[in-house]
Amino acid sequence: MSNTRGETIKNILRVTSGNFLEMFDFFLFGIYATHIAHTFFPNENEFVSLMATFLSFAAGFVMRPIGALVLGPYIDRMGRRQGLLLTLSIMASGTVLIAFVPGYASIGLLAPLLVLAGRLLQGFSAGVELGGVSVYLSEMATPGNKGFYVSWQSGSQQVAVIVAALLGFAINKLLSPADVAGWGWRIPFFIGCLIVPFIFVIRRSLPETKAFAARTHRPTTAEIFRTLAAAWPVVLGGVGMVVMTTVSFYLITVYTPSFGKTVLKLSETDALLVTIAVGASNFIWLPVFGALSDRIGRKPILVGFTVLAVLTAYPALAWLVSGITFERMLGVELWLSFIYAGYNGAMVVALTEVVPSSVRTSGFSLAYSLATTLGGSSLAISTWLIEVTQDKAAPGYWMAFAGLVGLVSTLALYRRGRTALAQPA
């Protein structure tokens, strides 16, 4: 693999392109949750309709551990490049299905069932997509820069958040509310379908990583499962670390448009502007703290930002709902973005380092997908918490809990003497 800067940048773009598509589709689901609810899950009770939509969104995350267990060993055995092409194909199938399914009014119960099938396909693919991309970036990184390289996995997702939110903003400006609700919300999903062939073409040109190509032994699926079983404390600790990332990410990005519109009663345009700002903030802070973790180690960053989440998540949201304005929502979401991006910049690379190299993709993907089952349920959990407590700031309790889980898991892994986490790579 060429070590020139231009070739390195091209490979980063090639490998993260699938991450972009995954988050683009997932985020569109959050932006247009109310329209999807009315189209596929109609109900006179708005809470019931929205919960059905969020549960179908969460169902995709239930498929992630299955995808990790099925596709992870395939990538560890057959190669990073081949596996990333397979995950892209499966993900694209789910995207096309969701984009073109007629509404409940046209085909009845079949409509929500097909949307659910699309989400399950996306979840199955995503179960190993993040792991495959993160491992590829860690294996292509130059010495002492793993944190910086791996941070672009999450960085590509922020670009997707920004693009999706900008499209949503433009559609809301150009179309009437009735047109957006009737058919306009599908336009970004169609655009996602159109970019699939382009991403497939550029991914086909990916070279295999030197680290994988140099292996003399390719483990069988049975060997991979045995290694994973033996490393279960590490995988479990990884799950706890990732919970903090997934909960905070989905709260500040995918949930923000619905939270701003349905809970805070701000305009959809205002909520999308805040989301664009959050995506830009994440994009800046992720590589900054990924690079910083290469210099000072992963542990100080992981501990520091989980403590910030525990101490400030609920008070920040309580301050927001005590006097709801666009400016307050922007300030609070940017603060939560700083916490998420600072933590995640160090966490993702830490997880690639702590998992045994022979099952790196499988172990990473399993830990990440199990945690994302909780994180991806944040939309439904937050909606339920607000309904039960009648406290609009209740999602802050959920993020604080996730921070506590991340803190305990990080400390537990360090006590096991996992020095790779503690030292810059």
Q: Is the pLDDT of residue 245 over 90?
A: yes
Region 318-345: what's the mean pLDDT? 94
Mean of pLDDT values over 318-325: 92
Q: Between the ranges 44-48, 173-177, 338-342, where is the mean pLDDT highest?
A: 338-342
With cut-offs at 50, 70 and 90, classify the pLDDT of residue 264. Answer: confident
Q: What is the pLDDT of residues 387-407, one digit of tens each?
A: 999 999 999 999 999 999 999
**pLDDT band (50, 70, 90) for residue 2:** very low
- The answer to whether 352 and 146 have CB atoms below 8 angstroms apart is yes
pLDDT for position 30: 66
The confidence score (pLDDT) of residue 420 equals 43
**Residue 389: its pLDDT value, please?**
93
Express each pLDDT in 357-390 by its tens digit.
667 777 777 888 888 878 877 878 888 999 999 9
Contact of 312 with 339, CB cutoff 8 Å: yes
Higher pLDDT, 284 or 262: 284
State the distance between the two ends of the chain, measured CA to CA, in whole angstroms. Answer: 20
76-80, 140-144, 293-297, 299-303: least confident range: 76-80
113: pLDDT confidence band, cut at 50, 70 and 90?
A: confident
- What pLDDT does residue 260 have? 86
- Residue 253: predicted pLDDT: 82
Residue 416 is predicted with a pLDDT of 63
Predicted pLDDT at 424: 47
Name the H helices within 175-297. Answer: 177-182, 187-204, 210-213, 221-230, 232-252, 256-258, 268-296
Q: pLDDT band at 216, cuts 50/70/90?
A: low
**Which band of pLDDT confidence, cut at 50, 70 and 90, is reported for residue 211?**
low
pLDDT value at residue 318: 95
Whole-number Å distance between alpha carbons of 235 and 247: 18
What's the whole-model pTM score? 0.79
pLDDT band with cut points at 50, 70 and 90 for residue 79? low
| Polymer length of the chain | 425
CA-CA distances (angstroms) from residue 263 to 29, 375, 385?
17, 20, 12
The residue ranges of every structural domain in the chain are: 5-203+220-422
pLDDT band of 419, cuts 50, 70, 90:
very low
In degrees, rounded to 5, the angle at the alpha carbon of residue 299 between the alpha carbons of residues 369 and 161 is 45
Pick the closest to residue 247 from 343, 161, 126, 128 (CA basis).
343
| Stronger pLDDT, 50 or 292, i.e. the higher one | 292
Percent of the chain at pLDDT exceeding 90: 24
Structural tokens at position 411: 């400390």
Averaged pLDDT, 228-237: 82
Fold of 5-203+220-422: Growth Hormone; Chain: A; (1.20.1250)
Of the two residues 421 and 257, the one the predictor is more confident about is 257
> What pLDDT sits at residue 219?
67
Check whether 289 has a pLDDT greater than 90.
Answer: yes
Report the pLDDT value the prediction gives residue 226, as an integer from 0 to 100.
82
Distances (CA, A) of 415 to 245, 299, 405, 418: 21, 12, 15, 7
